[in-house]
Structure 1
Amino acid sequence: MVPERVTLVTLGTFSMPKLRAFYRGIGWEETPTSNDQYSVFTTAGVLLSLYPYEELLKDAGLQLTGIQPVEPAFRGITLAINVEEPEQVDDIMEQVRKAGAKILREPHEASWGGRTAYFADPENHVWEVAWNPSALFDESGAMISF
């Protein structure tokens, strides 16, 4: 049986210093093992790592298939930061704006009854910031249900 959990999300980066600075700039804490070649940030429930794009291709065995680095663009995946209060959506969007994020969609009331907004980090990894009135969080802040 495959364990039902996500423990680590790795973003392939074209500029490690730029992306590390962004995530530090929004107040996220790096682990002591982080360096200029591999960076890991602690979050509730999952670790977020940054790894050079070309090295990630090689590590995944994709270099041999002819996949080549391209300009950062939407990759068909979003990451989410779910919060406990609707006001936090607006507060977080202001923080990421100041850190250099591109705001894709300003905070608004969602059709499903919550509050949501979207931003892209400096390499166009897309994040949603959302408040869902039915979300449940554990003691560490990880969302366990909605």
Structure 2
Amino acid sequence: MIPQRVTLVTLGAIDLPSLRAFYKRLGWEDTPASTDEYCVFTTAGVLLSLFPYHELVKDAGLDVQAESGAKPSFRGISLAINVEEPEMVDDVIKKAREAGAEILREPEEAFWGGRTAYFADPEYHVWEIAWNPSAVFDETGAMISF
């Protein structure tokens, strides 16, 4: 059996020092082991790491060419930060904008009864900010059901 859990999400970074600085501008603290060559942020329930794109490709055993000089594009995955109150969606988007994020979708009421918005970091990793009225969080802030 494969354990049903996600413990680490790694983003392939084209310019790791700049991407690290962006997440720090969001107010996130990286771990003491972090450098401009590999960086880890502790989040509720999952570690988020930044690793050089070319090294991640090599580590995974892939043979993919990095985008050379072109603006990164959507990679077919989004990450989500669920918050405890609807107004927090607006607050998070404001902070992301101030940190240099590209706002993809302004905060609005969602068809499923919550509130949602999207931003992209400087390398176009897409983040959803959502408030779900039925979300349940544990004592660490990790969402355990909705």
Matches within 5 A, 1:70-89: 70=67, 71=70, 72-89=72-89
- Cα contact 2:26–2:99 (8 A) shared by 1: yes
Alignment correspondent of 1:41: 41
Following the alignment from structure 1 to structure 2, what is the Cα–Cα distance between the partners of residues 36 and 58? 19
Normalization by structure 1: what TM-score?
Answer: 0.97
Matched-pair identity in %: 73
Which residue type is aligned with residue 117 of structure 1?
Answer: A
What is the rounded CA distance, in whole Å, between the counterparts of 1:87 and 1:36 in structure 2? Answer: 34
Question: How far does the alpha carbon of each residue in 1:74-124 deviate from its partner, in whole angstroms, 9 at most, with x for none?
Answer: 000000000000000000000000000000000000000000000000000
TM-score calculated relative to the size of structure 2: 0.97
Moved over 4 A (4+): none
Q: How many residues align?
A: 143
Q: Which runs of 5+ in 1 are unaligned?
A: none
Residue 116 (structure 1) aligns with: 116
Contact in 1 for aligned 2:17/2:37 (Cα 8 Å): no
Across the aligned residues of Structure 1 and Structure 2, the Cα RMSD in angstroms comes to 0.6
List alignment gaps of at least 5 residues for structure 2: none
Q: State the SS of the aligned residue for 2:27.
A: coil
* Matched position secondary structure for 1:94: helix
Partner residue of 2:65? 68
Cα drift, residue 126 of structure 1: 0.3
